[in-house]
Structure 1
Amino acid sequence: MRLLLVAPWWRDCRTFTEEESRELAAEYLEDMPDLEARRDRAAAALGLDLPDQAEVLARLREVAVGVGERFVLAFPPEDHAYAPLVKD
């Protein structure tokens, strides 16, 4: 939930950098200028403390890239592994 509130553009983050995230944020804010106010209201309603973008991007990278190093998601009927969504 924190990822969605802090960086709703996470699916477009391919390098997991703050610079990339800032560029994507600017695009989102053009379309929805009150995004930050909405985010803050949602976080308050849910009782969530929001981390900064650096923390969120680090966690996203860890989950998207790091977990795949330890686990392989397979499709049993065809017995082959899914390709990772994000490659390091």
Structure 2
Amino acid sequence: MLEAKWVKMNDTVNTQLIPSSSSYIANLPSGRDIHSTPAAYTPPQLDAEQIVRMRAPPDTYESLDVAESSDEDAVEGEAVGRGYF
């Protein structure tokens, strides 16, 4: 009896009308409701004193000599990848 019911159900063609795309799109959420729009960007304002200080030449001369770089502080005899085989 149960098998006969399943066979009948499987043999029956069930049809359903396909709704129009306009009604389908109307039911979709836009996704924009969750987040509010961000405020317009306003760059930070500098004081007149800060602007003058930034435009002025630096107070001290900083040498960019290659010989004084901190790269030479490393031991030169040490292998770069030693112990990582």
User: Structure 2 length as normaliser, TM-score?
Assistant: 0.21
Greater C-alpha Rg? 2
Q: Which has the higher contact order (CA 8 A, sep 6+)?
A: 1
Normalising by structure 1, what TM-score?
0.20
More strand by share: 1
Q: When you count helix as a share of all residues, which structure comes out higher? A: 1
